Chain A
Amino acid sequence: MLLTIEINGQQVSSKRGETILTVLNRIGVKVPTLCHLSNLSPTGACRMCVVEVEGLSHLVPACSHQVEEWMRIHTHSPRVLKARKTLVELLLANHPDDCLYCDRNGTCELQELSEELQVRERKYMSRNKPVQIDKACPSIQRDPAKCVLCMRCSRVCREIVGVSAIDAVGRGSHTRIGTSYNRGLNFNACVRCGQCIMVCPTGALTEKKSIQQVIEALSNPDLYPVVQFSPTVPAAIAEEFGLKSSKDILNLLRAALKKMGFRQSFDASMAADINIMEEAALFLDRLQKNTKLPLLTSCCPAWVRYIEVFRPEFATYLSPVKSPQQIMGTLIKQYITSSAGVKPGKVFVVSVTPCTAGKSEAESNGSETRLVDAVITIRELIRMIRLLGIDISNLDPEPADSAFSISSSSGRLFGISGGHLEGLIRSINFMSSGQELSPLKINDLRGLKPKKEAKVRINKQSVNVVAVSGLANAIGFIDEIANGRENIHIVEVMACLNGCINGGGQRTGTDEKCLKSRMKALYDIDEEEMVKVAHKNPVVNELFEKFLSGPNSQRNQEILHKTPLKTSAI
């Protein structure tokens, strides 16, 4: 139902049930927000978006208050501006004055707010509370001193991720974001997905940095540093440096990595191809024996951690194949560099991923030696590129320096929810029938929906597959399975909503527009790439011949399957 309201003297039509903020956004009036996130439930906690409604004694939050027929709204009246400014001043009173040293200097929303509202002096005395930085977790670091208690992290953790690893504790000015029993992130339900970092407006939540370690390795003449990067890295780098996301960007990235001092760079999509081959064979085996179905994919370390910690009863359904990052690490350390004559102990493998959980995964892989020595997020890579003075836009693109960098577009599709499944089905179909799937593209598995279901015919058999992203959605789905939903064959899970394109290690300031362009970049590659299926990747086939054995063989299991871990929440 349409109704007319008045905003700053202008007649505006709006729908019943809309929030004031929705209407304001539509007509181009910007009110500052802090706790608001479009895909989370509004809480109206920060009060930054308050507006004046004639006839009401107090100001109302635009984000959670719905429009009503009679409303005459003032969004920037003196009373409103004074209130907003005071609120920011109150937040700043307890906030450390160390912007220059902060991880988020320049990208901090609190900085933005105080600039916007022209806060120019410290009006209120601070009561400095001693706080401890929680840095035991290999993926995520928390600095409670910088927290403004907008509760975005705790809401993401509850509503999108579904584990509630962090939430508010204490009352009044003693309120803080805490972990269970105050034992820190390393000893609680956290699955390390890093979505909390993505929504944190300040520098309270950051990834645990490995930049220093990588720089030291790069300058250590005794080491042989190599790098692998995930399929979504090129697009993000293009965004950050204002480059066109084309095929060239891959080679520009390679050039930049070379300039940084990496001796070789590998595209982890190749390892994704291997992952597909192994998993396809494994699935056909399970399908034939009709056991351990549905197959749950295991390329997302946050999801794997969730199953290990919360739902061990599902662990047998989980694919035992290592994630692409770990497969790449294995291959580099055990085959590629040694065949090039480098001593295994000297190789230092760095992985660039949009994933904070990858850091934890590399640390605890079950074997004694590390397969990946350091994992850096895309944010860290961007910092390193800047730190090392690399002007990426003026570099000459450099082709792949190793044969092992060839990958199919199926491997690239790992970067988006549904993509892994799509590549997997292509190879399953080929392995089982000897023919290519036609058409190769599975439209049901594409797009930014959190849950995508598809029914495909493979060798006269109907196979039902589901791709779920956002761990909370995945939890809901496996609950469905636990409650008796049958006839599902493969479930692909990505803990971050829409998969790695929205990973916890992605660029700061990722929004829906970014997601769409990153998605498009990956789908475009699938259109343009010659090799679209893993089983046609010549390097993979060569590896299977020379180093590995046939898919799902004893030898492959030894090398490519992971050692099961025992983890618990507390």
Chain B
Amino acid sequence: MSWLSDDAIFRLQTATALPDLSATRYRIVERIASGGMGTVYLAEDSVLGRRVALKILDVPDTSGELAARLLREAKILARLEHPGIIPVHGAGTLADGRVFYAMKLVEGQRLDELVSRGESLPHRLRLFQRVCDAVAFAHARKILHRDLKPENIMVGPFGEVLVMDWGIAKSLRGGGSLDAAMEPNEGSLARDTSDSAITAHGAILGTPGYMAPEQERGEVGSLDERSDVYSLGAILQYLLKTGLDSSANAPRPLAAIARKAMASNPADRYTSAGELGLDVARYLDGLPVSAYPENIWRRAARWAVRYRVAIVLVLTYLIIRALLLLWFRR
């Protein structure tokens, strides 16, 4: 009797664990990551000859709840056609009943990984602006993300920014209330993620540290765009504090923007992600930001920084002119 080697057993286990995609146009290449509901695989689209990411439920869902949720996530993504939001290519069901959907394969780095490499502050802020744009677009389509954090933002090799993981996104009706048809059953579903920033069980979905206070309290009905604004503020604060020179404080206007976005009272926050992104853009352009009232000295200092090149050129001219005058007078 011959025994299988450990390596052979491992290979067999791996092969049997892989979903059967024979009835689909996709061929699995490798496993990328696991999440609460399912696993994401790198796959080959045999019809179009391109690589995609497949999100597949881990087990056939007898209750239909997880399947409905995965499909709901795919439908939300399909509604959000925006350069800053991961596009979905299609959805379907495997022979064993497991639901899956195919999305763009994003090759790049997560925002938290990128930031830990010490990217410059202006670059971080430009990336952040694009995140705000994508979230503002989703809000315009009445979708709340509810789990915005650096780990859910991918930055591609060409600087493209993609907001990922819309698994607990919430759909709003016109008045801002919940759309029951699109809403996951929060009482019974919980995302269990492998990282430590876990999502709580029960009625609370999100990531501690990035969740708005009302979201942490489980006040599902009171969530609106400003809850995502809070999360964006927390991301901005993360960008200001992580991977930069620890001795240097964050610029005051930026700290004020983050504070305003993270106000405990939603009424004190920016009313939209677009407004928050605009304030960051104004900072980058050397303009005053709404979150940071300036006195005359601060305004003068900002003006001097903004036009420092022109000021240096004028001073250079004056120095040369003075030297010329002295020379003419000799």
Query: A and B, one complex?
Result: no
